[in-house]
Structure 1
Amino acid sequence: MNAQDYWALSPVIAMAALALVVLSADAMLAEKLPGGRRWGSKRAISWIAIIGTAIPALLTLNLWFGWVGDSTSDPVVYGTFTADRFALFFQFLIVGSSAIVMLASVPYLQQFKDSLGEFFTLLLTAAAGMMLLVGASELITIYVALETTALPAVALAALRRDGFSIEAGAKFLILSALSTALLLFGLVFLYGYTGATRIDEIVARLASVPFETGVPFGSLAVMLAVLLIVAGFGFKMAIAPWHMWVPDVYQGAPTPVAAFLSVASKASAFAVLMRILYSMAGFEAIAQDWQILFALIATVSMTAGNLLALSQTNVKRLLAYSTIAQAGYIMVGFAAVSVASSTESPSSGPQSVMYYLAGYAFTNLAVFLSFTAIVHRTGDDTLAGLNGMLKRSPTLAVLMVIGLLSLLGMPPTVGFMAKAVIFSTAVDQGLVWLAVVAVVNTVIAAYYYLRVVGLIMFGQSEDEEPIRPGVGELAAVSIGVTGAILFGVVPWLVLEVVDHSLTII
């Protein structure tokens, strides 16, 4: 490795180094000095972790703008990693999401004082793995990055160490291992067929192989590889029919962990699948097969997620099914990506997906983190616990309602604009039926979103004790809500950045 390799990897290295610093600080603060005193307050660990994320964030921005050193979009580290603007866009999204989650988690984690350092270390390690994943351009690197992401996430899910949390961690571990096995089989098929592990070399060798007429994806080997790879990533993206783990894990895991998984983990999985998909976008014969596969997944995910959410009484399970439905909306954009690859406007598909993911990150964090502040003080994660929240905590209630309305897709929030962009892209590419299915599902989703809004705004609670969120919690939720409104009113702020990020086309 040379200096250019290290420079391209600098945000990932900084995030991993920050995890080690937090782990070391936690070990030092656990040791008692003579006289029974400690090195310092455990709370200091949280501020080291939160403020420390500024370093990988600045390094990411530096690679984007080229302030210091040489930035390159060419593959580095022997062609295994690409620090192009597409990767940098998602790296910044992951760093920002991690910082916001940690900022809102400090009061919640007071109930796990002995696990405070573990939480921040595991979250930062998982984030480092995700940052590596979004830039991975080689099959083995993709696998290693996924494992670096998955193992800390499993430990985070089981952090509470009670029955629900341990069950969540066990289910997450088993299903994560199963999905990784499926993904690995798919990668092996792809390697066996092409004899290459680098994505660009795989594409070049596929281009030299004649396609078999009438066989989906041109050959049986490629078809099996595609199906297994999509199944493996389907678990990470929480799309149907690989969504079974989501409600149980979200309910059993600490609420900030569920927030982190719903945003950062999902974004990184979608990013690497986009990189693989668009690397193969030049194959006209495959475009129709991609369209059919992703359109079916989108339909099943939207419909299953929204219908199953209708009967939920637990807020975290409801949000879990909402997450599945949101993944389905994103897959509408993926179906349009596959078609757009052969049209005059190839950027419309991935642009809509990336805009939706950015808007979804702000919106979902606002909802999850406002609920984190509430459930930490009430101990009730059911819908009944939200009754009369407007009277008990007006600020939190209003912020959560705005987030819910953005998830639904009400103007002028980013949720409305993101859905408008992604649905119109589908229509432009001839997928009118899929856009209609998406709109119908949005109407179905209105029932359970507005049901929660009604409980918050008009419900009656037996307990009228005021809920006073901390400054960090309010700041984190406010950042999410500000993004949800700002990027809905002026969507070009994100869309211009997205346009500059589309180096994969």
Structure 2
Amino acid sequence: MELNFALITPELALFILGLLAFTLGLLVPNHSRRGLGSIALLGLIIVLGVTVANWSNQGVMLNGMYIVDRYAMFFKILCLTSAILVVLGSFKYVDQQVKNHFEYYSTVMFTTLGMMVMASAGDFITLYMGLELMTISFIILVAFRSSDAKSLESGMKYLLLAGTSTAVLLYGLSLVYGTTGTIMIGEVAQSIAGGVNSPLLIVGIVMLVAGLGFKISAVPFHMWSPDVYEGAPTPVTAFLAVGSKAASFAVLLRLFLGSFGAIQEHWVGLIAVLAALSMVIGNLVAIPQTNIKRMLAYSSIAQAGYILVGLVAVSEAGIKGVMFYAFLYVFATIGAFTVVAAVSNQTGSDEIEDYAGLIQRAPLAASVMLVSLLSMAGIPPLAGFVGKFYIFQTVVQEHMWLVYLGLIMSMVSVYYYLKVVLVIFRDEPKDPSPIQMGGATAITLVITLVATIFLGIYPGPLSEMANMAAQSFLLK
């Protein structure tokens, strides 16, 4: 059994970094622990650099249990980028709202490590280990503000529902193993191609859809999202909205296209229905929301529906569309939640009415919120428009009804996004005092603003990167 440690250099580096952050937090005096955020940020940037440098370093470890290809590398880069932006944008929030900085930053790193393991999982056991590392870490992060009743309530809800979804997922994996006789994702495809196709296999696939549907908050497995998003610390909500979704979609694509592609007629219709329900319910229920975190939670459900459309395509173009949109989604979502964290830090409120006159109190934050919301709505020339175009063009031939539905729901989303924009730009502020952002938060906002605009105007490099990743997936 060959072990090529060069293939897992980013994972090893992140694991060591997480342990180092935790150990330093125990050793250094309390007044010096705030510097751990800078150490964590620097470490994550180094790990991202190592991952990018290993882009062409591909191979298989442990007899296929761990796959390192450009497909996995793409999602690892995405997850590390999310972690960097979340850590950078949350310095001030964490200093004022969160105790035990070293535990917070080390847990963020272990959460990211779980996502990276999920992206490279070549068998059910590795997949489960990565999933549980990510999920348990998120449970800790969601309930991190131990003095806040909402945070503890959210942590409890997430714990119970995550445990239930994991049980369903495990049972589905066991049924797939029982019918195919293997836990290797590639060998499952070979077994199905050899003629294995029993009702129990179909039941297993349905249970996998349910288990992973919870992770991406697709309807009808979305019930946890609004409450957890509202109660969790805002930077954690941002990370949950982008990182958890990205890693779960990496697994969904790897499983369904890598293992069940030969029997797509049994599950494509189900995925199409889930995509449609997520788009419709996510957007319609977002309309009456008065809390901005709950509104963004339902918006996130709708975004999961858009991304699921790429899976329905069952093609290289669909894989590319999912990866491309998921990366664009990172910048708009983290930009919006960074603004929410900054406003909440000063006002103590997440109500949309308290964003009145934000353009006067924090012009940069107001601009970022405007661009982020319009990008999520799919307004050209922002990144979200390009992402939706890539996604929906993959299903024009076979599922045109999804394209029409996606267009209609995107127009619906413009309504509730513009409600927030009107409050920000039209209404007079109750408190005219400026909102202090902090240097790190301002840098995060600028990065997300520039990336959202730039990738909408010039998506070529990211598109080519996603295309190479999709091609490496299909070679497996």
TM tier relative to shorter chain: over 0.9
Distance in 2 of aligned mates of 1:435 and 1:267? 22
- Equivalent residue, structure 2, for 1:451: 419
SS at match of 1:82: strand
Q: Residue 278 of structure 1 contacts residue 504 of structure 1 at CA under 8 Å; is this kept in 2?
A: no
Distance in 1 of aligned mates of 2:100 and 2:214? 27
Distance in 1 of aligned mates of 2:450 and 2:260? 36
SS at match of 2:100: helix
**Superposition RMSD on alpha carbons, in Å?**
1.3
Alpha-carbon displacement from aligned partner over 1:308-347 (angstroms, at most 9, x marks no partner): 101100000000000000000111111112xxxxxxxx32
Distance in 1 of aligned mates of 2:195 and 2:152? 48
Matches within 5 A, 1:105-120: 105-112=90-97, 114-120=99-105
Once the two structures are overlaid, the 10-residue window that deviates more, 168-177 or 192-201, is 192-201
Percent of pairs with identical residues? 37
Q: Residue 82 of structure 2 contacts residue 243 of structure 2 at CA under 8 Å; is this kept in 1?
A: yes
Distance in 2 of aligned mates of 1:453 and 1:112? 27
Q: Residue 186 of structure 2 contacts residue 259 of structure 2 at CA under 8 Å; is this kept in 1?
A: no
Q: Residue 115 of structure 1 contacts residue 159 of structure 1 at CA under 8 Å; is this kept in 2?
A: no
- Equivalent residue, structure 2, for 1:416: 385
Distance in 2 of aligned mates of 1:202 and 1:280? 5
SS at match of 2:53: helix
- Equivalent residue, structure 1, for 2:354: 385
Residue in structure 2 matching 1:57, options 26, 31, 48: 48
Q: Which amino acid aligns with 1:245?
A: W
1:474 matched to 2:460? The reply is no
- Equivalent residue, structure 2, for 1:334: 311
Distance in 1 of aligned mates of 2:149 and 2:109? 25
1:20 matched to 2:5? The reply is no
Q: Kindly state the Cα deviation for residue 480 of structure 1 after the two structures are TM-superposed.
A: 1.4
Residue in structure 1 matching 2:367, options 398, 412, 418: 398
Higher radius of gyration, 1 or 2 = 1
Matches within 5 A, 1:151-166: 151-161=136-146, 162-166=148-152
- Equivalent residue, structure 2, for 1:29: 28
Q: Residue 23 of structure 1 contacts residue 121 of structure 1 at CA under 8 Å; is this kept in 2?
A: yes
Alpha-carbon displacement from aligned partner over 1:342-380 (angstroms, at most 9, x marks no partner): xxxx32111111111011111111111122111111111
Q: Residue 142 of structure 2 contacts residue 232 of structure 2 at CA under 8 Å; is this kept in 1?
A: yes
Q: Residue 393 of structure 1 contacts residue 467 of structure 1 at CA under 8 Å; is this kept in 2?
A: yes
Alpha-carbon displacement from aligned partner over 1:50-86 (angstroms, at most 9, x marks no partner): 0011232122112214xxxxx333x212321111000
Q: Residue 364 of structure 2 contacts residue 445 of structure 2 at CA under 8 Å; is this kept in 1?
A: no
- Equivalent residue, structure 2, for 1:197: 183
TM-score by length of 1: 0.91
Q: Residue 366 of structure 1 contacts residue 477 of structure 1 at CA under 8 Å; is this kept in 2?
A: yes
Residue in structure 2 matching 1:174, options 151, 155, 160: 160
Q: Residue 11 of structure 1 contacts residue 59 of structure 1 at CA under 8 Å; is this kept in 2?
A: yes
Q: Kindly state the Cα deviation for residue 291 of structure 1 after the two structures are TM-superposed.
A: 2.2
Distance in 2 of aligned mates of 1:133 and 1:113? 28
Distance in 1 of aligned mates of 2:331 and 2:265? 33
Distance in 1 of aligned mates of 2:233 and 2:261? 43
1:493 matched to 2:461? The reply is yes
Residue in structure 2 matching 1:228, options 180, 195, 207: 207
- Equivalent residue, structure 2, for 1:296: 273
Give the number of equivalent residue pairs: 472
Alpha-carbon displacement from aligned partner over 1:131-182 (angstroms, at most 9, x marks no partner): 0011001001111111111111001000112110000000000000000000
Matches within 5 A, 1:305-384: 305-337=282-314, 346-384=315-353
TM-score by length of 2: 0.97
SS at match of 2:122: coil
SS at match of 2:237: helix
- Equivalent residue, structure 2, for 1:213: none
Structure 1 runs of 4+ aligned residues shifted over 3 Å read none
1:45 matched to 2:36? The reply is yes
Distance in 2 of aligned mates of 1:199 and 1:336? 20
Q: Kindly state the Cα deviation for residue 288 of structure 1 after the two structures are TM-superposed.
A: 2.6
SS at match of 2:55: helix
Alpha-carbon displacement from aligned partner over 1:8-57 (angstroms, at most 9, x marks no partner): 11111111111111101110124xxxxxxx6x622211011000112321
SS at match of 2:14: helix
Q: Residue 286 of structure 2 contacts residue 298 of structure 2 at CA under 8 Å; is this kept in 1?
A: yes
Distance in 1 of aligned mates of 2:244 and 2:64? 24
Distance in 2 of aligned mates of 1:423 and 1:204? 30
Distance in 1 of aligned mates of 2:298 and 2:182? 38
Q: Residue 332 of structure 1 contacts residue 423 of structure 1 at CA under 8 Å; is this kept in 2?
A: yes
Distance in 2 of aligned mates of 1:268 and 1:282? 20
- Equivalent residue, structure 2, for 1:342: none
Once the two structures are overlaid, the 10-residue window that deviates more, 195-204 or 179-188, is 195-204
Q: Residue 185 of structure 2 contacts residue 259 of structure 2 at CA under 8 Å; is this kept in 1?
A: no
- Equivalent residue, structure 2, for 1:280: 259
Q: Kindly state the Cα deviation for residue 464 of structure 1 after the two structures are TM-superposed.
A: 0.5
Distance in 2 of aligned mates of 1:61 and 1:182? 35
